[in-house]
Amino acid sequence: MTPNHRRPTVESLEARVLFSTAALPRPDHVVVLLEEDHSYNELFGTPQFPLEIWPVLAPGPVAQAPYLAGLAQSGAVFTNAHSIGTHNIIDYNAIFSGFLPKGTDKPPFTAPNIASELNAAGLSFGGYSEGLPHTGYTGGGVGLYTRAHNPWVDFANVPASENLPFTKFRSYAALPTVSYVVPNEDDNMHSGQIYEADNWYHNNIAPYAAWAMKHNSLLIVTWDESHQGDDQIPVIFFGPMVKPGKYTQHITQSNILRTLEDMYGLAPTGRSAQTPPITNIFKTSATSARKQPRHPTPPAKAHIKREAPRG
């Protein structure tokens, strides 16, 4: 069999377990922002040394990411979240499909995923990658766009029309039911600095967060992995249906995927079928969430250009 006629990889079916019957909200829109390679403590934790000793060389986490820190303070932030693996293909698929490819598995894959399940239910999905050359592009990395951060491109059951450049992320009311947003290598903390990604969030995603609070919609910000011993990552949920606070239960990308699936009554996919949804951070239902007093959005701040840390 020639490489051009390779059969698509199909995931074997797993037993599915119902963990909870707790009511979950049904947001009008969900946006999942995927960042790279940092831990909770790096972003929002306690610095490992007194800042007054090196005030310029090593600014504290909150000083470098004030907008994301404001989001964490106004939303549900997890202090014990961890990545499934230590490689892009595992971590991005864990939150997109629950299908964790092995070394011998080659795309195109046909395993069910959040996009195929939404489409089958008459809902919609959009994957937005900053730097993607054009809608439906299936080639390799170009400039600061990295294909390894775009899992939906590897699935034959995701329409090319749902593989979108970030320039298409516009009118919020017209967004798909669920959108995944992947910044480029400079803006996702992979190659760039924390403060650069924070500025990108402020300019490109914070307006959606403010809109979401008034329109029964949800923002989830998460990281793929931290490259630290326990691979702890930050995870933030923000929206009118969320109870702000710090949450200490252990979660992974599988819990986030299962939560999205349960919100829309979708069958759990891959590894999420063996994982409970996150329920304790939400108000009782989408209907009651609309009736609850709104939590304040992160305070508006003047956008001040910050100098890159020297040294």
* CA distance linking residue 301 with residue 203, whole number of Å: 12
Residue boundaries of the structural domains of the chain: 30-48+75-232+258-290
DSSP E strand boundaries for 75-167: 76-82, 125-129, 163-165
DSSP state of 17: -
Average pLDDT over residues 28-32: 98
Phi, psi dihedral angles at 102 (to 5 degrees): -95, 170
Predicted confidence (pLDDT) per residue in 274-303, tens digit:
999 999 999 864 443 343 333 333 434 434
pLDDT of 307 higher than 90:
no
The pair of structure tokens assigned to 195 is 């403060």
C-alpha–C-alpha distance, residues 165 and 121, integer Å: 24
| 1-10, 98-107, 242-251, range with the lowest pLDDT | 1-10
pLDDT digits (tens, 9 = 90+) for 9-26: 444 434 444 445 568 999
Sheet holding 245-247, edge to edge: 163-165, 125-129, 178-182, 29-35, 217-223, 232-238, 76-82, 245-247
Nearest to 160 by CA among 185, 117, 130, 125: 125
What is the per-residue pLDDT for 95?
Answer: 95
Gap between the Cα atoms of 175 and 66, Å rounded: 27
Q: What is the pTM of this model?
A: 0.81
Q: 212 and 238 in contact (C-beta within 8 Å)?
A: yes
Is residue 180 classed as helix, strand or coil in its secondary structure? strand
The tokens for 80 are 């014990």
